[in-house]
């Protein structure tokens, strides 16, 4: 999933380079044709063995997306346009943030997008960070801009995200891009949500009329995923026409069980489960190998585990991030 997310993030860099007015990712054009095909195909393809489910390789799909982005970048440059350029502002010494940024820079180079990292100490003031963002907005050399999150506690992340020019907002976190997403209009979509959408499209998972459970309500992941899946497929920015239910840490266990049993697709966007450490969110940890019969799901909530057979036969499961189950 991380690979797919990085690929979609770079896709947005290529897109914002091609047009500051039309904030479209590569791949939206054939969506209506895909929607028609999805209605007529099976929602649950099986592997050769009847007792095994199809395994979706996010890494394989990410390679496909990166290949397409590289082709688009080459075509863009061949037409006489400026090479797309990504600028990343990295504040502090968060190890995970440094890994994420390195992966983005590496992937950018692989598809022909130039890039740079601007390092700043964790004690940088919010005013200085905002001033830097404004200058990069005005820099014609910069096609896409992102400030790696999370930021130190003394900085208002929402203020920083809204300071980035919407047409350069690679993360898709600007209030204008979020608003366009909610209004079913073309926009730069947050990379993780876009990755889930691409996985669903490219795998041929049918969403039209299906029940989808999204575990997690974050504004950067759970919310945009839900918006993409439940909206009208005939709108300007086509959606999945699914019935979407969002659960979170305050969803009662009994209700979560009911929603899970009704779901055709379960998307786990609730973070990371680390043993029995205190959790602030809800986690569903599923076995790596799924059979065509119901199997146990471990429900992690407020440091307590509850085993149960909640998933129905042939339910698609897409989980984001690392999951682990205590012994």
**Listed range (70-74, 187-191, 226-230, 317-321) with the worst mean pLDDT:** 317-321
Burial environment of residue 29 by CB neighbours within 10 A (0 to 12, 13 to 18, 19 or more) = exposed
148 is catalytic: yes
| pLDDT tens per residue, range 66-89 | 999 999 999 999 999 999 999 999
pLDDT tens digit sequence for 278-314: 333 333 333 333 333 333 333 333 223 333 456 655 6
Q: What integer best gives the mean pLDDT of the chain?
A: 77
Q: Which helix (H) or strand (E) holds 193?
A: helix 191-203
Cross-strand bridge partners of residue 166? none
Q: Choose among 221, 1, 4, 189: nearest CA to 107.
A: 4
**Marked catalytic residue, from 72, 104, 168, 169:** 104
Q: Which of 171, 184, 241, 264 is catalytic?
A: 171
Which pLDDT value is given to residue 139? Answer: 97
The confidence score (pLDDT) of residue 257 equals 82
CA 259 to chain CA centroid, Å, is 22
User: What is the reported pLDDT for 18?
Assistant: 53
Which residue has 């080459």 as its token pair?
A: 74
The whole-number pLDDT of residue 312 equals 58
Give CA 298 to chain center in angstroms: 23
User: Taking a C-beta distance cutoff of 8 angstroms, is the pair 207, 267 a contact?
Assistant: no
CB of 130 within 8 A of CB of 163?
yes
Quick one: average pLDDT of 108-131?
97
Cβ contact 282:247 at 8 Å: yes
Q: Note if 126 is an active site residue.
A: no
Q: How many CB atoms lie within 10 A of CB 323?
A: 19
Tokens 């022909």 found at: 112
Taking only the tens place, the pLDDT of each residue in 259-276 is 888 888 888 877 544 433
**Catalytic annotation, pick one of 148, 210, 241, 264:** 148
pLDDT of residue 54: 62
Q: Confidence class of residue 106 from pLDDT cuts 50, 70 and 90?
A: very high
Active site residue 255: no
Q: With 0-12 CB in 10 A as exposed, 13-18 as middle and 19+ as buried, what is 251?
A: middle
pLDDT beyond 80 at 192: yes
Give 23: exposed, middle or buried? Use CB within 10 Å, 0-12, 13-18, 19+.
Answer: buried
Q: Is 320 strand, coil or helix?
A: coil
pLDDT for 72 equals 96
Determine which of 25-39, 216-230, 237-251 has the lowest per-residue pLDDT on average: 25-39
Eight-state DSSP code of residue 235: S
Quick check: 315 pLDDT over 70?
A: yes
Mean pLDDT to the nearest integer, 116-137: 98
Which of the four pLDDT bands, split at 50, 70 and 90, describes residue 258? confident
pLDDT at 250 over 90: no
């Amino acid at each position: 999933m991380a690979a797919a997310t990085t690929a979609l993030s770079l896709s947005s860099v290529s897109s914002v380079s091609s047009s500051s007015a039309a904030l479209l990712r590569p791949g939206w054009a054939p969506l209506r044709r895909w929607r028609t095909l999805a209605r007529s195909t099976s929602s649950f393809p099986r592997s050769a063995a009847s007792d095994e489910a199809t395994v979706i390789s996010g890494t394989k799909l990410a390679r496909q997306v990166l290949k397409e982005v590289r082709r688009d970048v080459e075509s863009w440059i061949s037409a006489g346009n400026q090479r797309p350029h990504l600028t990343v502002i990295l504040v502090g010494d968060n190890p995970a943030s440094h890994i994420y940024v390195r992966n983005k820079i590496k992937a950018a180079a692989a598809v022909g997008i130039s890039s740079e990292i601007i390092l700043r100490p964790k004690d940088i003031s919010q005013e200085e960070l905002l001033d830097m963002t404004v200058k990069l907005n005005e820099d014609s050399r910069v096609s896409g801009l992102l400030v790696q999150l999370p930021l130190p506690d003394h900085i208002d992340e929402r203020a920083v995200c809204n300071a980035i020019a919407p047409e350069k907002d690679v993360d898709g976190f600007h209030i204008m891009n979020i608003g366009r997403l909610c209004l079913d209009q073309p926009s730069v979509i947050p990379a993780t949500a876009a990755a889930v959408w691409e996985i669903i499209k490219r795998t041929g998972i049918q969403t039209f009329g299906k029940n989808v459970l999204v575990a997690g309500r974050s504004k950067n992941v759970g919310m945009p995923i839900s918006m993409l899946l439940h909206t009208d497929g005939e709108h300007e920015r086509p959606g999945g026409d699914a019935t979407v239910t969002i659960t979170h840490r305050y969803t009662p266990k009994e209700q979560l069980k009911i929603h899970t049993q009704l779901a055709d697709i379960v998307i786990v966007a609730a973070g990371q489960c680390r043993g029995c450490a205190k959790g602030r969110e809800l986690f569903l940890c599923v076995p790596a190998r799924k059979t065509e019969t119901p199997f146990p799901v471990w429900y992690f909530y407020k440091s307590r585990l509850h085993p149960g057979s909640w998933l129905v036969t042939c339910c698609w499961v897409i989980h984001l991030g690392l999951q682990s189950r205590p012994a």
